[in-house]
Amino acid sequence: MFSHVTIGSNDPQKLEAFYDAVLGTLGLEPFFKVPGTLSYGTATGPKVFVVTPFDGNPHHAGNGWHAAFLAPDRAAVDAFHAAALERGGTSEGAPGLRPHYHPNYYGAYVRDPEGNKLQAVCHSKKG
């Protein structure tokens, strides 16, 4: 559905441990890291980039924006949320069912240490 998601940061390297842990719970491993850029995923598959803004201006978290990542199961959603909180993120919605989306929608919302909103979601009945 997408090629990549780009998340802004004033200092991606300060967020490296956060994103390594949080995206790792979903099976997204580091692809490459250079000053000012972290990337997760594969060369030919979907990727996530954490970068300094291309225009050189300071990063600020967007209101109303978030990236939702597919989780293989509900346990991965729980692990995503826990890893985020353990590494300086904040909760924007604990793991749980959100049946107003559909009966099996199980998600959790967090913000990274710079305020970017992220979500993990599992659409399966299985735990």
Cα separation, 102 vs 28, in Å, equals 25
In the chain, where are the structural domains located?
4-54+66-122
The pTM for the full model equals 0.93
pLDDT tens for each residue of 43-95: 999 999 999 999 999 999 888 889 999 999 999 999 999 999 999 999 999 99
Mean per-residue pLDDT, 27-38: 95
Yes or no: say if 12 and 23 are a contact pair by the CB < 8 Å rule.
no
Q: Does domain 4-54+66-122 have CATH number 3.40.50.2300?
A: no
